[in-house]
Structure 1
């Protein structure tokens, strides 16, 4: 493997170590022993769940291509995953609120294990079934676990500020350290041990099974709306009404859809972007490098959220602008650097520049996850948390499905340019969210002053 990859990986690792080792007392939050035990249990489960997800990530596209499918057919398989997440996501989110978040987390494990098993078959229909199961599982991963955590955190009476600590640690470990180890472990299974591209999916199923055993043995159940008589349609109406009546929730949903839509499109695009002429690139190692960059972002996020200033609504505007610039890099390099027409070989010069830009984008992803979790915990009502969070995923999945359906119709630079535009729009919406939040915070103070002014003459 080339020195370039090791230099990028080592440089990011050194920065992460420096950020973590230079944390001061202002960057840390004092917590109780009971909370630390609760947090450790959740982080263990979340890390196992993410290991099951991350082990698959770098090899989905590669596995399908090894089975002989082209970019168009692979795009259709990806569409099946996002489409099922869109169709079933809101339903499973509502069921999680009504039937229990713990049950939903166990369902995630079972569904994703079944999805992993389908990867052993080269049949298109079986792979399509696996993508559908994977889409359902993804909806549960990004709603049920967070909903269970927030409800359980509040039920146990822990301080609200401690929740941001769990969020940042979960992303640092689950989307950082575990993802890096998963990428390296997958690289060992596929390249070093030559077990084939399906081996990471078998390993993922094992981690998911272990996590499910811990959930069943140590988690308690919690629910959304306490009304047992509320049917799914009523839950949908309640969630839609909450989004329509509060502009902050609607803006948060739009921001999340724009960012995650760009992120999931990037997941599909980074492999062909770095190897347009079938260059030989180490998929697992590059993925581990991306996750190290994400880990760096989450480390910065934990510092930012431990302080009262700057507010999350403020610094996320800058994060979205940087992420927009990062995904614009392939467009810029295509105009400035002449494309290579030599098949195979090592990564090109433009590919090397794009890799660095993609690492910057992944650092923004690392900041995004704990920050959006904190904003969701502040603005989304508890009684329909899972339902509303999966409502947010509907426009996200529509966007990604449209992009992937037209993957052969547009050059890859056009799709990156579109993602960059959406991220810039997200920064504008984030600005709007901050203005509304600050305005609503100042209103109680203004009304309090008005009341004092009106009653003052009566006291004389």
Structure 2
């Protein structure tokens, strides 16, 4: 069955290469040299920030187990991370609108570097502190950088449609190529060079320090609401009012929570799904295949967003339905095919089908990220952008904490079935979002097709 992995990886590599090399002028948008320089600077920083995150991922659980902690202890550490992201991260992330997005990005670097340093200690309390710092950093990673980018892009007077180019390329690099390279480099440090499981965290700290230096010397500050009278509670009120008064923002938050909650649940469940009887599967190689699938998705999203039609609100309905069907595969294969009973064997036929489905799901993830970023840039008000984005993460973190706490309480098929239902719900809400957005669009607005704007004349 090893040949099966190589075939899947090879096919995905070929498809990604063909998509990237076959771009025509219709798939490209004419931009300015100033925008290209701005975009490349952001992509370098974002890639370094994501590298700092991806370097740690493969070895967090392994490091804790090497320190002698059991599954229950490790589970509590993970819950602390998501809980911290929900509580402290929401507060710190919301301060970005008031105190500055550039400062928040630097705070992300400092928090994550300190979290990496705590990994040198085998003491549970120190590791718990590291998870809390990591949770704060995670909230900043998924709010402060995007908020800074959108505000700076608009402040410099670039075409709003060009944001899609930065979003899609950021996901292609940061969530695809950088993830693969980071995983391989972490594996090199630990297994080939024998530096131990702490080495990837040290490498992550170095990468984050480099990124922080670039931010400090090349980024300017921008803010949300400039009002001096608004404190943190005032920011929360502004964000809550915006969500309650605008159905589009509320729908966007619900869609994001449903999809990301299913995605994080998938991260916990794909290993036992593919090896229910401890089948011998190449975890690192499968992870790289998933990331390659995500690159494929971001490449597809880049092409979709380079054209006026189909609109993001339209094609994302299909993406959510496909995602729901792929996460339903473990339920279907368990009923129709069953799983192998021989321990230590290679992946089963049902597992192979699931792997192909999981790769499709990861491609949907690659489409989701730049697409949700574009919708957020359109619908979320600038004065409370970071605050609202962190509000969106509250139900997500609650959901993930509940899943982590009860991961052994339900059969894996029930968990996947639940995720599939959530994704179908996301598709329904996405349909509603499209209807609301179209109904509120003024009739006088010019066409948003690139290069086809009609001049507004009397």
Q: What is the TM-score of this pair, normalised by structure 1?
A: 0.93
CA contact (8 A) 2:276 2:339 kept: no
SS at match of 1:221: coil
Deviation at 1:70, TM superposition (A): 4.0
Pair 1:413–1:117, CA change in 2 (3 A):
farther
Larger deviation, residues 128-137 vs 430-439: 128-137
Aligned to 2:165: 165
Aligned to 2:99: 99
Alignment of 1:122-141 (within 5 A): 122-141=122-141
Aligned to 2:277: 277
* Counterpart check, 1:294 vs 2:290: no
Unaligned runs of 5+ in 2: 446-458
Deviation at 1:129, TM superposition (A): 1.9
Provide the C-alpha distance between the structure 2 equivalents of 1:73 and 1:336, rounded to a whole number of angstroms. Answer: 36
Unaligned runs of 5+ in 1: 446-460
Deviation at 1:188, TM superposition (A): 2.2
Provide the C-alpha distance between the structure 2 equivalents of 1:287 and 1:67, rounded to a whole number of angstroms. Answer: 24
Aligned to 1:402: 402
Aligned to 1:85: 85
Provide the C-alpha distance between the structure 2 equivalents of 1:124 and 1:5, rounded to a whole number of angstroms. Answer: 38
SS at match of 1:338: coil
Aligned to 2:7: 7
SS at match of 1:343: coil
Alignment of 1:297-308 (within 5 A): 297-308=297-308
SS at match of 1:441: coil
Provide the C-alpha distance between the structure 1 equivalents of 2:389 and 2:338, rounded to a whole number of angstroms. Answer: 44
Provide the C-alpha distance between the structure 2 equivalents of 1:385 and 1:129, rounded to a whole number of angstroms. Answer: 28
Alignment of 1:14-413 (within 5 A): 14-413=14-413
Deviation at 1:444, TM superposition (A): 5.8
Pair 1:390–1:166, CA change in 2 (3 A):
same
Aligned to 1:457: none
Pair 1:192–1:120, CA change in 2 (3 A):
same
Provide the C-alpha distance between the structure 1 equivalents of 2:113 and 2:342, rounded to a whole number of angstroms. Answer: 40
CA contact (8 A) 1:183 1:285 kept: no
Pair 1:188–1:351, CA change in 2 (3 A):
farther
Deviation at 1:68, TM superposition (A): 4.0
Provide the C-alpha distance between the structure 2 equivalents of 1:199 and 1:433, rounded to a whole number of angstroms. Answer: 45
Deviation at 1:413, TM superposition (A): 1.7
Deviation at 1:442, TM superposition (A): 5.2
Deviation at 1:89, TM superposition (A): 2.5
Pair 1:57–1:119, CA change in 2 (3 A):
same
Aligned residues: 445
CA RMSD of aligned residues (A): 1.7
Deviations 1:388-445 (A, max 9, x none): 0000000111111111111111112211111111111000000000011111115668
Q: What is the TM-score of this pair, normalised by structure 2?
A: 0.93
CA contact (8 A) 1:255 1:429 kept: yes
Provide the C-alpha distance between the structure 1 equivalents of 2:197 and 2:352, rounded to a whole number of angstroms. Answer: 25
Deviations 1:358-392 (A, max 9, x none): 11111001000000000000000000000000000
Alignment of 1:378-457 (within 5 A): 378-441=378-441
